[in-house]
């Protein structure tokens, strides 16, 4: 699964730290999600989507290998 969080952050102009504060996780967690080393739970994904005001599918995209 890949995601567009880095792009969305750039559009909204917030840092990893600010996004982390908004959804109540550590900066490390945001960083591992962005670099595809951690797949967030549904709850966390929904929280991220809510911050960016976009449907889930626009931020998290399934890959062929999934």
Partner 1 sequence: MKTRFLFPYWCRYLGYALIVAHIPVMLLRKMIGFDIPGAPFDDSLLSPHHLFFMTTTLLMAVGLFLAAFSKEKIEDEQISQLRLDSLQWAIYVNYILLIVSLILSSDTEHILFLNLLIPLVFFIIRFQWKIFQNNRLLKKDGDLR
Q: Which residues of this chain interact with partner 1, rule CB under 8 A?
A: 6, 9-10, 13, 15-17, 24-29, 31-33, 35, 38, 40-41, 43-44
* CA geometry: angle 36, 39, 42, nearest 5 deg: 145
Q: Using the minimum distance from each CB to partner 1, give the nearer residue, 28 or 56.
A: 28
Q: Using the minimum distance from each CB to partner 1, give the nearer residue, 4 or 32.
A: 32
Rounded Cα–Cα distance for residues 58 and 31 (Å)? 19
* CA geometry: angle 42, 10, 46, nearest 5 deg: 15
Q: Using the minimum distance from each CB to partner 1, give the nearer residue, 52 or 64.
A: 52
């Amino acid at each position: 699964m890949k995601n567009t969080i880095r792009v969305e952050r750039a559009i909204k102009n917030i840092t990893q730290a600010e996004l982390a504060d908004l959804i109540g996780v550590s900066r490390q967690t945001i960083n591992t999600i962005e670099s595809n080393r951690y797949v967030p739970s549904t709850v966390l994904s929904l929280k991220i989507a809510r911050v960016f005001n976009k449907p889930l599918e626009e931020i998290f995209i399934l890959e062929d290998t999934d």
